[in-house]
Structure 1
């Protein structure tokens, strides 16, 4: 059987989707090349001197690992030269990343988390790159300002992630379903392996860090407790599966069904809205899960409807199968 590459798949869908211009194809090509470079070094991380901390702290106040820094530099270097972006934003960078005047500019804005879950590298846990693509507003000229690119998640034109594990997998959507591709290192291509992914309407897995139970409010405790109660309205006892790498937890639940939760906790007063970033983590995964038939909320509100006010805005996140997320939303709504 003939295998379909990710670019062939995209070009095939261009016939029904006039949004997918030559610029967009170029953008995706450069993202794929960046992921191949990052994946190559992730796979040999234990053999080269890129493990450990740099000694720097990123805008989130977190220690930066060397692979974080490497992945970020690869993406910035490749993408600013692609000629398709007007600006970028990275989890690792405090401000907008402007495209140098030395390179042509395009109509797209790229947001990315260069290496999600990188604290797990030393334990050989799956990690990944998450990306989100927007088209900038009409009439943009000159240097891009923050208000030019802050858009709701519903306005994304594409989103996806690369997951570096036992194999390297790419999952993406352009608003017409979700498709997964597995990298074949023998030919250097991502080949279609998971066409038209649909998340099961109800799963058997819940993913959350229960060590923070005592820092949760009552609604959160009731929501999590529901999955441990075989007599709950969901009608089954759930299995707890928590890797601690967002992209890995999400990918498993996307295929098998279930829910990932990162609620607000009260350990850190500097993060009153939770830990996860709206633009580079919650929005792209919410876009993917909705295209696959699932849901994503902050407990009450649809993630894709949230109007961002800051580049590194945080949000609680409940994402996965419809049955689970709906019940969580009921609990939070009743709590007021």
Structure 2
């Protein structure tokens, strides 16, 4: 098979040279973070810090280091105007607001609670454009995202990317320090037999989610008439990556305990980019009422309900809610 590097792929598919350059900066950041993850125990970067992120969560050392890597790598792009990071309360303005300049929303290290037990973690990102010269227009509209992607740091490091038409996966070749296309045109398998949900929150779920999970657990003798496996890694990147490869559905719904906050997962740099990726791969994504990509962002760290995966499962859950 012909080796296609990320650089060659971007030259053909990014459309704008400036966008290709920004994605190269993001890929460089992910390469650096992959190295940091690999040596985290040796470098003494495991455990927790005394710092608290904007969501009231104790930060891991690599949460902070990964955010610094993104800022350092991507700020060099002259067409980047603003950064919206999970780890920083305020929007970081790299250059003045200017119509058409890029906005990068990102979670520098998703699933960092897995670091100390050596499980997969990742980074998530979405790129959009400022709609005007006003800083008020910095929050992206999901349908106007230019591209979305994630990196997963596991047995190998992968970068998964979409411009909205299809999903392509690149594996880091350590011998050349380059990302190479290994998973072209990734599609979500439509016959789901796995679901990913945090069962420790079951007491908070609404009736629709309680019923859905109960029906799955009843197996072949239940209303779904087939056996389901339950998977949960506490890393959205790892769970979504599994769905792209093997199918299934991921659920982190709004529930009685997190309803006041609007849900658990963040819209701009977790839910929205993953929704774009899953939709481009032929799956579906919803907050239970509307397509997840259509949820309107009003604040940088807005939370939302997230249900995404195989299209037939998403349609079933949305029908149950409606």
State the partner residue of 2:9: 9
State the partner residue of 2:36: 41
How far off is 1:283 after superposition? Answer: 0.3
State the partner residue of 2:300: 311
What's the C-alpha RMSD, in Å, of the aligned pairs? 1.7
Superposition map of 1:82-121 within 5 A:
82-99=77-94, 107-121=101-115
Residue 247, structure 1, aligned to residue 237, structure 2: yes
How far off is 1:176 after superposition? Answer: 2.1
How far off is 1:105 after superposition? Answer: 10
Distance in 2 separating the partners of 1:294 and 1:306? 17
> How many residues were matched structurally?
320
Residue 136, structure 1, aligned to residue 130, structure 2: yes
Distance in 2 separating the partners of 1:100 and 1:53? 32
Distance in 2 separating the partners of 1:136 and 1:191? 31
State the partner residue of 1:149: 138
What do residues 176-204 of structure 1 show as CA deviations (whole Å, max 9, x unaligned)?
Answer: 21000000101111111100001111221
- Tell me if structure 1 keeps the 8 A contact 2:129–2:140: no
Which ranges in structure 1 are unaligned for 5 or more consecutive residues? Answer: 15-19
State the partner residue of 2:278: 289
Distance in 2 separating the partners of 1:236 and 1:323? 14
Distance in 1 separating the partners of 2:282 and 2:74? 31
Moved over 6 A (4+): none
State the partner residue of 1:17: none
Superposition map of 1:205-224 within 5 A:
205-224=194-213
Distance in 1 separating the partners of 2:83 and 2:213? 36
Distance in 1 separating the partners of 2:231 and 2:76? 40
Residue 123, structure 1, aligned to residue 112, structure 2: no
What do residues 81-117 of structure 1 show as CA deviations (whole Å, max 9, x unaligned)?
Answer: 221211110001111101157xx99711100000000
Q: Among residues 6, 20, 26, which one is paired with 1:31 in the alignment?
A: 26
State the partner residue of 2:250: 260
How far off is 1:226 after superposition? Answer: 2.2
2:84 alignment partner, SS class: strand
Which ranges in structure 2 are unaligned for 5 or more consecutive residues? Answer: none
What do residues 51-109 of structure 1 show as CA deviations (whole Å, max 9, x unaligned)?
Answer: 121201010000011000000011012211221211110001111101157xx997111
Q: 1:231 to 1:157 in 2, by over 3 A?
A: farther
Q: 1:233 to 1:12 in 2, by over 3 A?
A: farther
- Tell me if structure 2 keeps the 8 A contact 1:89–1:111: yes
How far off is 1:268 after superposition? Answer: 4.7
Distance in 2 separating the partners of 1:269 and 1:204? 28
2:74 alignment partner, SS class: helix
State the partner residue of 2:49: 54
- Tell me if structure 1 keeps the 8 A contact 2:100–2:130: no
